[in-house]
Amino acid sequence: MTASRDRAARPGDRQDLRHEDDNMGALTKAELAEHLHAELGLSKREAKSMVEAFFEEIRGCLRENEQVKLSGFGNFDLRDKRERPGRNPKTGEEIPISARRVVTFRPGQKLKSQVEGYEGEVH
C-alpha cells in the first residue's frame, strides 16, 4: 500500500473517484462528471454538460489566442514554433518539420508544491 492509500479519503481526493486498475491512473472527463454528480448532486446529464462546457471554454479561448489562467492550478499558453530540420528515424533522411502553433501548460505554484509533496508510488 502507498502512503496516500493509507490515509482516510477526503472529498475531492482522486482515490474516491476510481478503482486501482481503472485507466492506469488517468483521470477522464467521465470521471470528472461522475464526481460532480456525486459531490454536488447534479444530474449525470448536467454534470457531463458542465464538464464539456468547461473544456469548450478553454478550447475557445485558445482558438482566439487568449491565455487561460486557472488560479491555483496553472496557465495554458500558445507558442509558435519555427520550421526546423528533422530526421526520419528509420531512414536517417533529413526532412523539414513545419512551423506550427502548440499549446503549453505551466503549473502554478500551488500545484507544484502539492505535487512535490506527494508521497505516493511513482509509476
Predicted TM-score (pTM) above 0.95: no
Which of 59-71 are b and which e, b meaning 16 or more Cβ less than 10 Å from the residue's Cβ? eeebeeeeebeee
Average pLDDT estimate for 53-75: 96
Provide the pLDDT for residue 85.
95
Provide the pLDDT for residue 9.
46
29-40 vs 44-63: helix crossing angle, rounded to 10 = 130
